[in-house]
């Protein structure tokens, strides 16, 4: 066995209704002023109300920073840091989807540091000690609550990552009741996003390890078994809980065995055309998997056995069963299944491909090397 390291969140709590008792956990952490980082959709949906009532009951001062948007830009993180300093926050809570959790990570890091956001881009550039951090996902997709990375949109079309173990929270709290109101299309796109995390972690060229492999398989099993139910019957709490746990396990897997080509090609789609991250991954998944098949067929066959336990045939047959299942899944779940459906035309392809080539941090993990001409062909296939 090759030597490897595995890191994850210190404490993971899976409990229905636990978000409404969050202040009681804060009390145990001896925090005096809390900043909750979220987005306007979560606020308007009333998801924060029980949590805020609990803070009032516990007499713990709390402020809300509700300005997070999808693909957050640097200015949002900088405003959040100022908000944390203004209320003298000594604890940060990320409450929402992946963007809210990513922003919360960076606020917790920078509000307690002399470093600026520009200083911490890249791998292990962050120093010092962050504020106490709790992450509460309201979607089952990103797995950000167990990853040591935060993604920021820089400029018009590029995304950069901050990668540091300092970004792993003290507590990840998984409360499936928070996901009950998710619209079908969000459930579908975020669910496929989590599947991509599991698949790319299992097939990563770098840092692939037995723990991530086991987590990725279990994540894919949970996600595939529950995504249709969660989409068609959104109030089914066991299905929602399994999706949330599957997303978390996939996050743990790819936090240690990093994602590759699907994400590299999806990032420019999100940055330039403001397509949600999960949907961007879903749109690029089929083309990239078929491109990788030459070098990853045996791994896809193993994952095919997870989705179809009774499958038989050659490794190619079992790999293709997985790929065909994933190809049909967006249509079955009634979300976009081509780049044209989100406004991307053939004239956009070359620019997207050039942007994708900048994602070297991700491309080096792909099981098959992707060159500029390959990226152009993959975007054309996804049209």
- pLDDT value at residue 150: 96
SS3 32: coil
Matching residue, tokens 């993971």: 12
Domains of the chain, earliest start first: 11-178 (3.40.50.1970), 182-382 (1.20.1090.10)
Q: 305 and 219 in contact (C-beta within 8 Å)?
A: no
User: Taking the CA of residue 302 as centre, how many other CA atoms within 13 Å lie in the half-sphere pointing to its CB?
Assistant: 12
- pLDDT value at residue 154: 87
Q: Dump pLDDT digits (tens) for 156-184.
A: 767 889 999 999 999 999 999 999 989 99
Which residue, 90, 43, 97, is CA-closest to 62? Answer: 90
Which residue, 96, 90, 94, is CA-closest to 111? Answer: 90
Q: What is the arithmetic mean of pLDDT over 250-277?
A: 95
Q: d(Cα 281, Cα 28) in Å, to the nearest integer?
A: 39
- pLDDT value at residue 328: 97
Matching residue, tokens 């996804």: 382
Q: d(Cα 43, Cα 64) in Å, to the nearest integer?
A: 9
Q: Dump pLDDT digits (tens) for 127-156.
A: 999 999 999 999 999 999 999 999 998 877
| pTM summary value | 0.96
Q: d(Cα 147, Cα 251) in Å, to the nearest integer?
A: 6
């Amino acid at each position: 066995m090759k030597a490897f390291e595995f890191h994850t969140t210190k404490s993971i709590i899976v409990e229905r209704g636990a978000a409404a008792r969050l202040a009681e956990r804060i009390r145990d952490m001896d925090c005096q002023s809390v900043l909750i980082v979220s987005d306007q959709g979560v606020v308007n949906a009333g998801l924060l109300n029980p949590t805020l009532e609990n803070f009032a009951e516990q007499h713990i001062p709390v402020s809300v920073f509700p300005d997070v948007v999808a693909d957050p830009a640097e200015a949002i993180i900088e405003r959040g840091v100022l908000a944390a300093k203004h209320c003298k926050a000594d604890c940060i809570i990320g409450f929402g989807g992946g963007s809210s959790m990513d922003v919360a990570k960076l606020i917790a890091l920078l509000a307690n540091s002399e470093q600026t956001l520009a200083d911490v881009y890249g791998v292990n550039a962050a120093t010092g000690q962050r504020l106490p951090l709790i992450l509460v996902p309201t979607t089952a997709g990103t797995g950000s609550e167990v990853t040591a990375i935060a993604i920021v949109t820089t400029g018009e079309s590029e995304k950069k990552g901050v990668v540091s173990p300092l970004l792993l929270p003290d507590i990840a709290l998984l409360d499936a009741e928070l996901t009950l109101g998710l619209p079908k299309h969000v459930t579908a796109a975020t669910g496929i996003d989590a599947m991509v995390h599991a698949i790319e972690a299992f097939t990563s060229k770098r840092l692939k390890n037995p723990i991530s492999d086991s987590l990725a398989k279990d994540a894919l099993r949970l996600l595939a078994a529950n995504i249709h139910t969660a989409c068609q019957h959104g109030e089914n709490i066991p299905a929602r809980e399994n999706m949330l746990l599957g997303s978390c396990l996939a996050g743990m897997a790819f936090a240690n065995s990093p994602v590759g080509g699907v994400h590299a090609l999806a990032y420019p789609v999100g940055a330039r055309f403001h397509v949600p991250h999960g949907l961007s991954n879903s749109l690029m998944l089929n083309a990239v998997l078929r491109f990788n098949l030459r070098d990853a067929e045996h791994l896809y066959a193993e994952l095919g056995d997870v989705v179809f336990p009774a499958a038989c045939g050659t490794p190619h047959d079992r790999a293709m069963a997985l790929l065909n299942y994933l190809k049909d899944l967006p249509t079955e779940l009634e979300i976009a299944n081509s780049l044209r459906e989100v406004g991307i035309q053939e004239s956009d392809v070359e620019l997207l491909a050039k942007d994708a080539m900048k994602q070297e941090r991700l491309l080096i993990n792909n099981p098959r090397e992707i060159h500029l001409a390959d990226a152009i062909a993959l975007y054309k296939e996804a049209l």
